[in-house]
Amino acid sequence: MAVFNKNTLTQVSGFDNQIIAGELVYNQKTFWNLSLANNGTPLDLTGTTIDAQIIRRKLSNVKDTRYGLSFDISDYTPTPTPVTLSIVNLNEANGFFTLVIDETAWDLVANDPDLDIAYINGAGYSGRIKISFPASGSNPANDLIIFLLFIVRSDAIVNN
């Protein structure tokens, strides 16, 4: 999996925010098991709403630098529809869930010109996992955001 330059990650998530970033192959099925804790104690997700979405982005100036992949990211034109990612295996009491990327995420990008094997920049996606906590006692409602950033490339088998 690619390592991203810290400045590139900061473009998407800011300085202190959590981010899941990686390089994927078109039509790849993958998942991330996420376990949330506060000082080692599982974060109770009871009553939360969890959703995740990614949206197509334009990548330019992709370079493999000494400190990881560096690139510029901007809005894609025309504005695409966000893709909802699956959240499964939710264990609220133990602060655990799985984020899934599968064929439902890739149906929208078949035959994308940025997936041509000769195209250096690849197809970019950014997004977020949003965990919405309800108000509880004196604590107001709040959201936990985990940013997402992916470069998707062709393996030249499915998309040429």
Q: Is the pLDDT of residue 95 over 90?
A: yes
What average pLDDT score do residues 40-52 get?
A: 94
Domain annotation covers residue 160: no
> Do the domain assignments include residue 80?
yes
Domain membership of residue 159 (yes or no) is: no
Q: Residue 154: inside a domain, yes or no?
A: no
Q: Are strands 41-42 and 37-38 parallel, antiparallel or unpaired?
A: antiparallel
Q: Domain residues for 25?
A: 6-140
Task: Enter the pTM of the model.
Answer: 0.84
At 1 the pLDDT is 45
| Phi, psi dihedral angles at 108 (to 5 degrees) | -80, -10
Secondary structure (DSSP) of 135-151? PBTTBPPEEEEEEEEEE
Beta bridge partners of 73: 59
Alpha carbons 50 and 75: distance in angstroms, whole number: 25
- What pLDDT, on a 0 to 100 scale, did the predictor assign at position 135? 92
The larger pLDDT score, comparing residue 63 to residue 97, is at 97
In a domain, 13, yes or no: yes
Residue 79 lies in a domain: yes
User: pLDDT per residue over 62-77, tens digit each?
Assistant: 877 777 777 888 899 8
Count the domains in the chain: 1
Q: Decide if 11 is inside a domain.
A: yes
Does residue 115 lie within any of the structural domains? yes
